[in-house]
Structure 1
Amino acid sequence: MDPFIYLLPSALNQKKLQKTLPDTPPYKISYGQDEQQEGVLLDTFDAEVFQSAKILFQHGDMLLLIDLQSGRLLQQAAPETWSFAGDLPVGPVTAFLQQLSKLRAFLPVASVGLCRLHGLLLDDEGKTRARLHHLTICHGRKSVGIGITEYLRGYRKAHDDLRHSLERIGAISCQSVGQVYRVLAIKQGKYTAKPVIELHPEAPVKDTTRTIISVFLQTARANEKGLVDDYDTEFLHDYRVSLRKVRSVLSLFTGVYSPEETAQLKKDFSSLMQKTNALRDLDVYLLNKLHYFSLVPADTHEGLAILFDYLAEQRKKEHSDVIKVMRSKSYRKEIGRLEKIFTNGSNLATGPKAEEHSMAFACRLICKRYDKVCKIARDIDAQTEDGAIHQLRINCKKLRYLMEFFTPLFPEDEIVSLIKALKILQDNLGNFNDYSVQQTSLRHILQEKMSEFGSAKLKVAESVGALTAILHRLQKKERRQVMKNFARFDSPETRAAFTKLFHTPQIEEGVDENNSLLQ
């Protein structure tokens, strides 16, 4: 039997609850209450705990997790200061948080007061018929109670009686964290790295372009504070992905803006991204530290540890440089100028495709890019140079971006299914590229940075050599997988789905004079 998960807008009146219980049998509720404690409500920047219909609190050295879907209440010991799930000792809350997010920091959302109450519903013989777990949460002058009833096998009626009595004193079903936030006047974080953008099929593509770029600029800017404060590496990752998507729009939406305007805007956004290139490269290495150690023999671990200590120090320096950039007047002026350009849009020099309907434009670009992906992939065999694999990766990324940009214009289930099919191939190509980039970086360290390691340079060189050899083998393995994954992506079913969703005769000419795409 499901528990009753409830919200009580007022304080739990124990005497009132007792009076609402049926006279037969003569129930009694026995309570055990904790003292009120100061605590903090925690979540990630993108509200992953909130989105999973759970609430996470810390009070002192204890974590408390409430699941509003299942009614489970988990708790465990925790250090008073921690950021990531990996910082926590083994326990039920840790297990959930690691599954939820290994990369994001759990940050304070609000300071709260917490008071827990445990109740046993007893019959006239003193036997427990049901249990009650109630938590009073205070935030400023607001307070709310959330609770969970626990059914005991064989005592369904007793559990129903307890539920009905709670409802009589004002308890309502609670399955949304938003209900709790609203009562406590806690502001809900609305950040998402993948914002939903409203687009219209008949809108001129110049308007759609401006809308997409404006949204991703806002997404990039939402990450600036976290990037500077260095809460976790996802702030920089999301910042860069958002700017990369802006540059991709400018590159892929050919003819929307004049060639001169497009070239200048691409240069401006490229300049912004270049300032964080080195920091992101170091983040990728450090995030893969444990994986790298697992790849190489144990006798090379000492040298690898020295290398990663060096990389960690380099990261501190790079992050310090990025902070200076982000806080500078020149950066704020430039990013503000670009925001203003796309908020207004009137000063942008348009190109020959600016007035084309967005749906026709989207179909034409997606079909063209899909054909290019297929042409490159079908020419790849065992003797093909790695450069062709890289070109396939780049074009797959461009195809995916196009499909994601224009997703709101198409039936969601159909386009999402195609994006998932593409993602399998793209992940494979991404791994291939990552192993290539990492080998290049390691060779650079061997050629240019060994003097930094003094007497330890031989140990570091041995470790770098061992790791480079392993990465080379892994890259070859990914390459062999590329053709298998492309064969799946190039199936008759996938080709038919692309044709059905995106292809019309008008696309061949790049026009849609009869608006047939909109019928």
Structure 2
Amino acid sequence: MIEGYFEIQNCPATEIIDQISAALSPRYNVELLTSGEAVALTFYDSFDWRLFQAGYILQKTAPANGTQVSTLRLTRIAGSKASTDQQAELAPGDAPGFAEELPEGPLADTIAPLLEMRTLLPSDEGRGQRSEIAIRNEDQKIVARLTITQIEMTGVDEQTSLAQLHCRPIRGYPKPFRMLEKTIQQLAASSANDRNLLASSLFAAAGREIGNYQSKLELSLHPKMNARQALRHILLHLLDQMCVNAPGTRTAVDSEFLHDFRIAVRRSRSAIGQFKTIFPLTERQHFSQELRWLGQVTGPTRDADVYLLAFDDYCAMLPEGRRDDLLPLKRFLRERQRGEQRKLTRALNSKRYEKFVADWRNFLCDDETIWQEPSLTPIKQLAAKRIWRLYRAICRDGEAITEESPDEALHDIRKEGKKLRYLLQFFDQLYPPSTVKPLARTLRTLQNILGDFQDYHVQSVALRGFADEMAEKKKAPPETIMAMGLLIEVLAGLQTGSRARFDEAFAAFSGPATEDRFRKLCGKKKRGAP
């Protein structure tokens, strides 16, 4: 049996206990073990709500004096009933952050693959009083347990009392636990229950709305929009993503703030580049230059982040006895990352960045600015034209690839594929999902192979440069340089393997089935049609 989790509004703990006692009597007795213990509650999730999106809420409950062990509780909220799945203890004063910092056990095992490289951010703190209740049978044996935490929350219009209930089964006594759960469910239903109310309220107090951010594009386009209307909508959305990620990028809360910031920059550059004929020339050149600058000033920090995120994978590529030899490389990368982060922070704190954000938003929102004539063309028409042109260009370039082709040729295909992927992401709402999703999936398979191929090459070149610099500055013993050499050999082998997989993926992408889907998407005649 799994522990149950409920929230009940505007019902004092004493009244809840009385109603439970009446419902379970005479077969079971309700005993109040402790009451009035002052506790502090805090909820945690990543900036992009990875736990909530997966159906979980993570709560820390600590004695209000802060001198005792606190409890982390991971509650499953998906489905019709909430249930507590895992718990862990934290030392006094500790707070959860990155997954690897969590206490080892089932809770960390569940959170780690969801959180990945993101850190947990806290809600505001709620204060309340906790009561512990035992349910006893006629033999005075405890057959179920219940914890009630009463929180007083001050909202915009009124003060709300909220009781948080955790009911826990005792092995061998399923029936009283089910009766207890049923009683609480009835109480929760009668109190306009929202089992996320407490978490929502405390996150709101910290300036966050549950589920209000995700890196995936959430656009509202429709086929009747002209190109100007659609591009303004897309670019303003991307500017908002830059702005919302900028604070975390400046302070390096975790690496994904910078990652999402850069994606918004790249998507913006791509959108302007693909539809350059609709923008006023002077403004297009200026803002393209500013976006290129943002890509340049954020690139070195992101590169260092990528190497640090991949470090455990690097170690796993080496024989077990050689893995510790790479530790000086990790120290070197951290030092480099800190240096590049300082430069990045200065750039995002600069007047140039501040002016870019203001000017770019003003331009996009200004109805008086005269755009070029193609901006009045229906966006679906222009999008189809660009999608088809990119698809045919990738097919043409891919068909020219041979075993003797330079690495740069595959990299060029990858860059074109990225532009096509952005177009499909921008305009997927304009087309039936049954048409777009298979195309996106086939393109993603090809892009992943090309991405791996390019990444292995870039990382090999970078590691050679790091090894030379570390040797010159005496920051690594010979064992580390040798281990890095072994790693470069492994990466070269992986790059060769990626290239070997290109032909099959490209054949699927350029083959008749995919071409027919692109033709349908773009309003082209079927192959062989007159």
TM-score normalized with structure 1 length: 0.87
2:384 is the alignment partner of 1:363 = yes
* One-letter identity of the residue aligned with 1:485: A
* One-letter identity of the residue aligned with 2:487: L
> What is the percentage of aligned positions where both structures have the same residue?
24
Aligned partners of 1:29 and 1:338: how far apart in 2? 64
CA drift at 1:131: 5.3
Q: Is the 8 A contact 1:120 1:131 kept in 2?
A: yes
Q: Is the 8 A contact 2:2 2:85 kept in 1?
A: no
CA drift at 1:375: 2.1
Q: Is the 8 A contact 1:202 1:357 kept in 2?
A: yes
Aligned partners of 1:351 and 1:432: how far apart in 2? 39
Which runs of 5 or more residues in structure 2 are unaligned? 63-68
Label 1:303 to 1:61 Cα distance change in 2 as closer, same or farther (>3 A).
same
* CA offset digits 1:420-461 (Å, max 9, x no partner): 23212211111111111112212333455632226x464443
Q: 1:486 aligns with which of 493, 506, 524?
A: 506
Q: How does 1:323-402 map to 2 (within 5 A)?
A: 323-344=345-366, 346-347=368-369, 350-402=371-423
Aligned partners of 1:305 and 1:155: how far apart in 2? 52
2:308 is the alignment partner of 1:294 = no
CA drift at 1:393: 0.8
CA drift at 1:387: 1.9
Label 1:51 to 1:146 Cα distance change in 2 as closer, same or farther (>3 A).
farther
2:462 is the alignment partner of 1:462 = no
Q: How does 1:178-257 map to 2 (within 5 A)?
A: 180-182=199-201, 186=205, 187-189=208-210, 190-257=212-279
Which runs of 5 or more residues in structure 1 are unaligned? 507-519
Range with greater deviation from structure 2 (76-85 or 468-477): 76-85
Label 1:94 to 1:252 Cα distance change in 2 as closer, same or farther (>3 A).
same
CA drift at 1:376: 2.1
Q: 1:272 aligns with which of 290, 294, 312?
A: 294
Query: Corresponding residue for 1:144?
Result: 162
Query: Corresponding residue for 1:445?
Result: 466
Q: Is the 8 A contact 1:54 1:177 kept in 2?
A: no
2:58 is the alignment partner of 1:39 = no
Query: Corresponding residue for 2:65?
Result: none
Query: Corresponding residue for 2:8?
Result: 8
Q: Is the 8 A contact 2:145 2:169 kept in 1?
A: yes
Q: Is the 8 A contact 2:9 2:160 kept in 1?
A: no
Aligned partners of 1:267 and 1:475: how far apart in 2? 33
Label 1:99 to 1:171 Cα distance change in 2 as closer, same or farther (>3 A).
farther
TM-score normalized with structure 2 length: 0.85
Aligned partners of 1:266 and 1:505: how far apart in 2? 35
Q: How does 1:114-153 map to 2 (within 5 A)?
A: 115-126=129-140, 132-139=146-153, 142-147=160-165, 149=167
CA drift at 1:504: 3.5
Aligned partners of 1:234 and 1:222: how far apart in 2? 12
Q: Is the 8 A contact 1:122 1:128 kept in 2?
A: yes
CA drift at 1:235: 0.6
Label 1:2 to 1:89 Cα distance change in 2 as closer, same or farther (>3 A).
closer
Aligned partners of 1:154 and 1:4: how far apart in 2? 15
CA drift at 1:269: 0.7
Q: Is the 8 A contact 1:367 1:502 kept in 2?
A: yes
Query: Corresponding residue for 2:125?
Result: 111
Label 1:160 to 1:281 Cα distance change in 2 as closer, same or farther (>3 A).
same
* CA offset digits 1:345-394 (Å, max 9, x no partner): 533x5334211101111111112212222222233233332222112211
2:425 is the alignment partner of 1:404 = yes
2:492 is the alignment partner of 1:472 = yes
CA drift at 1:31: 4.1
Aligned partners of 2:414 and 2:237: how far apart in 1? 26
* CA offset digits 1:255-276 (Å, max 9, x no partner): 2224554333211210122111
* One-letter identity of the residue aligned with 2:287: L
2:111 is the alignment partner of 1:97 = yes
Query: Aligned residue pairs: how many?
Result: 503
Aligned partners of 1:32 and 1:421: how far apart in 2? 60
Q: 1:78 aligns with which of 72, 90, 93?
A: 90
* One-letter identity of the residue aligned with 2:9: P
Q: Quote the RMSD (CA, aligned, Å).
A: 3.1
Aligned partners of 2:330 and 2:48: how far apart in 1? 29
Q: Is the 8 A contact 1:21 1:162 kept in 2?
A: no
Aligned partners of 2:491 and 2:335: how far apart in 1? 24
Aligned partners of 1:101 and 1:155: how far apart in 2? 34
* CA offset digits 1:65-99 (Å, max 9, x no partner): 12223512421123514420111231121111102
Aligned partners of 1:127 and 1:414: how far apart in 2? 62
Query: Corresponding residue for 1:30?
Result: 31
Aligned partners of 1:243 and 1:486: how far apart in 2? 28
